[in-house]
A and B are shown apart, each in its own frame.
Chain A
Amino acid sequence: MPLLAIALLAAGTYAFRLVGPVFRYRLRMPDRLRRLLSVAAVVLLVALVVTSALAEGHGFAGWARPAGVLVGGVLALRRAPFPVVVVAAAVTTAVLRLCGVP
């Protein structure tokens, strides 16, 4: 990860953040585009959840990680606090691996 890549990612990210606060009086984003962008964010985040839970490189990550994420997801549905969700997911995965589940 060279410095240039980090700088590009940082600059682009900051530009996305700054457009709204700077142009809010001059630009009005159409509601349709606003909705599409917010749905796009959810679509990307869910895809990131699923691929980072299931895959390691081009292959299957094994059962321990998705099982941990699933436990975290069920706890989140039951409105458990965020730290509980995170710790439960990591502990589930760690315990499964300790038991020999890949």
Chain B
Amino acid sequence: MDMRSFWRTLDRGTLRDIALVCLADMLVGASFGAIAVSGGLPLWVPVAMSLLVFAGGAQFAAVGVVLAGGGPAAGVVAGLVLNARLLPFGFAVADVLGDRWWTRLLGAHVMTDESVAFALRQRDRRRRHDVFWTCGLALFAAWNVAVVLGALAGEVIGDTGALGLDAAFPAVLLALVLPSLTDPGTRNAALLGAVVAVATTPFLPAGLPVLLSLAGLVLAARPPATAAKTDSIPESP
């Protein structure tokens, strides 16, 4: 591929946004490594998870469940349910992964909330391709380097809480989902789901309350009154 035309299609604003997201995710990745190791997990656990799973939300959820005493099976289920969202993402960006089998295998692995969100902001297919790959590969490198550094630091830092690192992950996740909450149906479903998750947290094994939040989908299953008109158009078979 001609690298010069590759960089020309990416404007400076987009590159800056990608760099900022990489930086934010590095802070979160470092927190993840530090929290996992200072919580008592061996250093290779956060490092291997970050390379092989490469999905921040699922990594935090799984490690959180395990550190809270929920058991590895519950941790895996919590992580997998959370990652089911990657399935529709795969259809959304399939056209930019290329037709060669190895670009599809590699591109699938660097598919994240961030790379998909950035790619879908571009109208032109060529730009979508460039943005997806730039964001995906840069984020993979940044995230894994940061997790290793954080994990190493976690062996020294006794108390990650004193640094407020436990607030980093929910904060970046909140910043990522906020734009999706402008849709009223989604917002109501998310609010109900959050109430269910918080209300059940004291009683249920770790990981399960987040799954139960899916009960909030009852508010999304029925389209809101304003959307009823468009919805009454017969769907294509």
Contact = CB atoms under 8 A, between A and B. Distances in A.
Given A82-B20, A82-B24, A90-B168, A17 B90 contact: yes
Interface stretch (B2-10, B122-130, B147-155, B178-186): B178-186
A92 B164 CA distance: 7
Interface string B18-43: 00110111011001000000000100
The interface centre, meaning the residue of B73, B167, B190, B211 with most chain A CB atoms within 10 A of its CB, is: B167
The interface centre, meaning the residue of B95, B164, B221 with most chain A CB atoms within 10 A of its CB, is: B164
B156 interface: no
- Give the dominant DSSP class at A's interface: helix
Q: How large is the interface on B (under 10, 10 to 19, 20 to 34, 35 or more residues)?
A: 35 or more
A46 B177 contact: yes
A18 B197 CA distance: 30
Nearest to B180: A42
Given A76-B178, A82-B20, A82-B24, A69 B171 contact: yes
A51 B201 contact: yes
B24 A85 contact: yes
- Give the dominant DSSP class at B's interface: helix
Contact of B167 (A6, A45, A68, A76): A68
B197 A72 contact: no
B158 interface: no
A89 B171 contact: yes
30 contacts: A9-B49, A9-B76, A9-B80, A16-B84, A17-B108, A21-B93, A21-B97, A36-B221, A40-B84, A47-B209, A47-B216, A48-B82, A51-B201, A64-B164, A68-B167, A69-B174, A72-B171, A73-B171, A76-B174, A81-B24, A82-B20, A82-B24, A85-B171, A86-B24, A86-B172, A89-B167, A89-B168, A90-B163, A92-B164, A92-B167
Given A20-B92, A44-B211, 15 more contacts: A1-B49, A1-B75, A10-B53, A13-B53, A37-B85, A41-B85, A43-B186, A46-B194, A47-B209, A57-B69, A81-B20, A86-B28, A92-B164, A92-B167, A93-B167
